[in-house]
Homo-oligomer: A and B are copies of this chain.
């Protein structure tokens, strides 16, 4: 029907269609056949441009990493730098559909992803910490940012389902489960549910709180390790 001779499919076109498909159908419903249909080609043709579906996902994850790296700015002290990095990172993740899933199911073997980790390590490199501690610290950060976006994404889906159903079963399910918690025990969770804390779940201010916890935790760790050193010298 459409031999596409005039305008052959390119890697870029496939990538762009992939973003569209992720946005409309989610990563769990992303199929090669749907992707091909969107491009007016057959699924088999995709394999001339990419070796596998997994490889497309890796490419997309790497594109996100590349974008995050662009927005990295130099900062005076490491705390501000780490904070800005986290904020920019989250901002970029929010722009791309299924960004957190893409980066989590891709191990960091792509160059830009590694460069991203390297950029974070550079920030904490001047701290009086062992390499193992530095690595632990930035792994914490990375996982935090990704998990946060993942949770936000899931929360959005739950909210959507609640709207569509007139919050029939989704809301009820968690509300019921909440009611069946033991009564004889303090239950901050139920209190928070009453106070609608859950609706704020993916908010920026919550993100900032976690970021603050991590950064001042890292600061405390380097203070503690420094004391260890002093102890050793004495």
Is residue A13 contacting chain B, with contact meaning CB distance below 8 A? no
Instruction: Compute how far the CA of A215 lies from the CA of B140 in the bound complex, rounded to whole angstroms.
Output: 12
CA distance A189 to B138 in the complex (A): 11
Q: Does A206 contact B (CB under 8 A)?
A: yes
Contact (Cβ within 8 A) A122 B177: no
**Assuming the A-B contacts A212-B217, A213-B218, A214-B140, are A188 and B125 also in contact, with contact meaning beta carbons closer than 8 angstroms in the complex?**
yes
Q: Are B111 and A206 in contact (CB under 8 A)?
A: no
Q: Which one of B154, B189, B217 lies within 8 Å of A107 (CB-CB)? A: B154
Q: List 18 A-B contacts (CB under 8 A).
A: A109-B173, A109-B177, A114-B177, A114-B189, A118-B187, A118-B189, A121-B189, A122-B185, A122-B186, A125-B186, A131-B195, A135-B192, A143-B143, A143-B144, A143-B148, A212-B221, A213-B220, A217-B218
Residues of A within 8 A of B (CB): 104, 107, 109-111, 114-115, 117-118, 121-122, 125, 131-137, 139-140, 143-144, 146-148, 150-151, 154, 158, 173-174, 177-178, 180-182, 185-192, 195, 197, 200, 205-206, 209-210, 212-221, 224
Given contacts A135-B197, A144-B144, 11 further A-B contacts (CB under 8 A): A107-B154, A114-B181, A131-B191, A134-B188, A136-B209, A139-B151, A140-B214, A143-B144, A143-B148, A147-B147, A212-B217
Closest 3 CB pairs of A and B: A217-B217, A213-B217, A143-B147
